[in-house]
Structure 1
């Protein structure tokens, strides 16, 4: 999901500058007071949702229902302002993931199938609180990093499942008859090994294993080294790499739109990452030059002092 969710004064696509109501909506949507107002509105909506969890509200219940309809109306007005801000290109509103998310959680509340006090209606109303993420660059970067890490996490999960299955079968062969509660079948074995990822049960399992054979220590030590250390570190590396890419995109979101404008066939998201990497390289080169110049200046001053 892109962090850039409001068009600039050129309409967000390099086109002509919007005029009239579109220009007003664009300025309003980009203004800090507008964002603060929406944040306060979402916070108030969250407070109302929390109050509705208390039983026996009495007369306050009708007030909360009226407030809910007021929130719905204001959220609809907000979405309308953001759509109108795109001027003659309202379709660009759907290019940004956060805009689509806001529209879905705002419009879904009006579906005819959702009425009364259904569980799905409550879930959708609670989902509106998640809109606070779009207004925080830090949270937005974390969510974008988690989204970008999904392909890598999928590969990690496949590798972890294979590893757990192999160790689960080995545990069933070694301990199945002796400790049926922990390793009586493949399901119990996998559950035991999954709990072992926290390392809390490791001393007890090692003690049980040593009662069978000293060689069981190899089983548990290798499992801990491969799964707890190696695999989890791989997962952390995948997420950290995605965090770095998301941070680069967040830093360069104003340098290029979210779609291929330059016509080179490469998504501009990749262009922005490349731009950020080049900027980092330039910063490193400039820092090295400054260090060399400082050393050269100090050497020159020292030679002049020696001559004097």
Structure 2
């Protein structure tokens, strides 16, 4: 049992080492470059690159096995570890026959960089933390979009059927308008028949683009700030814990020295007697 614990401790020290993590980051980046180069090289070099890609995949498999040994069942309690396992598992599936589409998914291995770089991981954690608020904003966006689609179809369906002929066409046109792509051309086409149509387009852009869409940014920023504050709090807690442990170690050292001094006095007392 102690031997297993010793092996696990050594493996954990290895996988947590900063140099080991930098090596894995380098392998992930190199793998991304190889997958991109594969799309451009001649056929006679494709086999060599495929072998090199398999070698890099073997490195990923070994790294996951080492982390599994280091953390045991707790490895699967971290969603990022599960994500890494799924990505590597997809790469291990033979990309032939009906599964040939999985060959294009090999590039997903690059996403492992998110788990390997703490700053990227905090950004994703912030996005995940902002999901509930983003859902509410998305619901508001869909509701207001639907209202605008119905109104524009009723007002301009006969004037510009190529843009507002039905709900689907109107939804696509307003989405295009919301992104700012070619909306002046659409507006001018409608205004040629209805000069007051500019009011609808201006109000729609002000409400949807400058108000509702910016709410997404506000929610995401708020989520990232909460993640950053949590990370800072954890760092402060770790610093306090280290200070406490250092203080306890110093106290234990002082107690040991006092006990040693008492024992020395007692051992000298009979000799003096």
TM-score between both structures, scaled by the size of structure 1: 0.69
CA offsets 1:2-51 (integer angstroms, 9 cap, x no match): xxxxxxxxxxxxxx9x9411111111111111011111111221222122
CA distance in 1, matches of 2:84, 2:176: 38
Q: Does 1:44 align with 2:30?
A: yes
Task: Select 1:62's aligned residue among 47, 60, 74.
Answer: 47
Shift in Å, 1:255: 6.8
Residues in 2 aligned to 1:190 and 1:121: alpha-carbon distance in whole angstroms: 35
Counterpart in the other structure of 2:77: 95
Q: Which has the larger radius of gyration?
A: 2
Mapped contact 2:38–2:46 kept (Cα < 8 A): yes
Q: Give runs of ≥4 in structure 1 deviating > 6 Å.
A: none
In the TM superposition, what is the alpha-carbon distance from 1:225 to its structure 2 partner?
A: 2.2
Choose which of 167, 170, 184 in structure 1 pairs with 2:151. 170
The Cα shift of 1:208 comes to 4.0
1:188 aligns with 2:169: yes
| Alignment RMSD (CA, Å) | 2.5
Give, in angstroms, the shift of residue 66 of structure 1: 2.2
Write out per-residue CA displacement over residues 195-245 of structure 1, whole angstroms, 9 at most, x where no aligned residue: 111334343344344444454333223212221122012111111111112
Other-structure match for 1:29: 15
Aligned residue runs from structure 1 range 95-134, under 5 A? 95-111=77-93, 114-115=95-96, 118-123=100-105, 125-134=106-115
**How many residues align structurally?**
235
Gaps of 5+ in 1: 1-15, 258-308
Describe how 1:1-308 pairs up with structure 2 within 5 A. 19-58=5-44, 60-86=45-71, 90-111=72-93, 114-115=95-96, 118-123=100-105, 125-253=106-234
Q: 1:226 to 1:19 in 2, by over 3 A?
A: same
Sort the Cα spacing of 1:50 and 1:213 in 2 relative to 1 into closer, same or farther, 3 A. Answer: closer
Q: What TM-score, normalized to structure 2?
A: 0.77
Q: Aligned partners of 2:210, 2:51: CA distance in 1, in Å?
A: 54
Change (3 A) 1:122 1:233: closer
Whichever structure has more helix as a proportion of its residues is 2
